Amino acid sequence: MIKFSQSIQQASAFFRRIAGKNKKGRTIPILCFLLLFTFVRPSFAETIAEAPIMVDGQPVKTAYFLQNGHLMVPALFFKNTGASVDWNVQYQSVVVEKNNTIVALYSGKNYADYYTKESGNWVRDNLPTTTTPLSDGTYIPLLYTAQKLGMKVTYNSELSRTFIDTNTPPAEKPIVYYVGDTTEKKIALTFDDGPDSIYTPQILDILLEKGVHATFFVLGQQVKLFPELTKRIVNEGHLIANHTWSHPELPKLTTSQVVQEVESTRSEIAKVTGINSFFFRPPYGSYTAGDIRVLSEHGYRSILWSVDTLDWSGLSAEEILAIVNRDKSPGGIILQHDFQASNGKLDGTVQALPKMIDQLRGEGYQFVTVQNLLDGN
């Protein structure tokens, strides 16, 4: 049996020869790359690895392995292309949807069904290899799935890298906001992960004393625990926004799970405050194009930040203020937190807040909510 490392070396030499003959460039169809490995039969333990795949020019790190000469990736990888990815329990299948096409790949099977809205019919198709369930998820053939969804896949031999062009029109790519209007000296204070009985009241007291309105990205489970604090946030004029129910990493969830996390939080906020909030921030700032797209279709605007105070790590007030002074700008969005499981970690946040407000006001900044920053009202 040929060792996998030897096969990689042979592949590199093979692509160098092809690239030398390819006078128009070094990018060749990925099918050549995949077929090269048809003679390799190493075990999963030897072949599972991680590498970046370029999606519309952006690197996406993913696990992968070669199976019967075909590049296999976790089904959830396809959320990075803007697709929806779900699991059908009844049929034990991965369902990937994009560009008016649905592909259903059945666990442990070497066939798939696909549907296009244009034809209105489901068609059974043979797969070049088997859809494979592993402990970290179900792996599906990258080339087959991407092509069925109308994407272009190529391999660059010089860079040893796979490229996917999703063919998504610019107007259809979802928007994530890092800043607001940069022409006016407005800035937004935002607080994540609360409400919490320790830090949220202290922060609200300071904001009330200073006459500042902020934006609170709340967790649904915290709203359920602290409904009165949630009402206080709204009653004192702050914008309440959505930060999921339980603070998961969205790229690790199916599309339905993402929607459930966000919609359950919206419902809990509405039950407690009477407000339907459609401003959203992904936990850890981690998301895929598919997450933002589906939430946009549900009416949400996704908000990140331009100033990360790193307050969650237990920084002192002086360290937090130094970061804000360094990174502040008109239209800026400042990330802070009002809940931390470790007591004392956010003491710096509370101590820095009144000084931050005074200092930025002294420089001519006006404090507004994220909604005001984006909409100007």
Q: Which residues contact 306 (CB under 8 A, 6 or more apart)?
A: 178, 179, 327, 329, 331, 332, 333, 334
d(CA 300, CA 131): 34
Residue pair 331/181 in contact (Cβ under 8 Å)? The answer is yes
Using alpha carbons, list the distances in angstroms from residue 226 to 73, 98, 222: 41, 39, 6
* From 192, 196, 338, 347, active-site residue: 192
Residue pair 255/81 in contact (Cβ under 8 Å)? The answer is no
Burial class (CB in 10 A: 0-12, 13-18, 19+), 310: middle
Using alpha carbons, list the distances in angstroms from residue 218 to 9, 174, 224, 238, 313: 51, 22, 10, 12, 19
DSSP 320: H
337 is catalytic: yes
Buried b (16+ CB within 10 A) or exposed e, 227-256: bebbbbbbeeebbbbbbbbebbebbebbbe
Q: Mind giving me the DSSP string for 45-82?
A: HHH-EEEEEEETTEEEEEEEEEETTEEEEEGGGGGGGT
* From 291, 311, 337, 347, active-site residue: 337
Strands 215-218 and 186-192 come out as parallel
Strand ranges in 157-272 using DSSP code E only, listed in sequence order: 161-165, 176-177, 186-192, 215-218, 239-242
d(CA 258, CA 291): 7
What residues act catalytically?
A: 192, 337
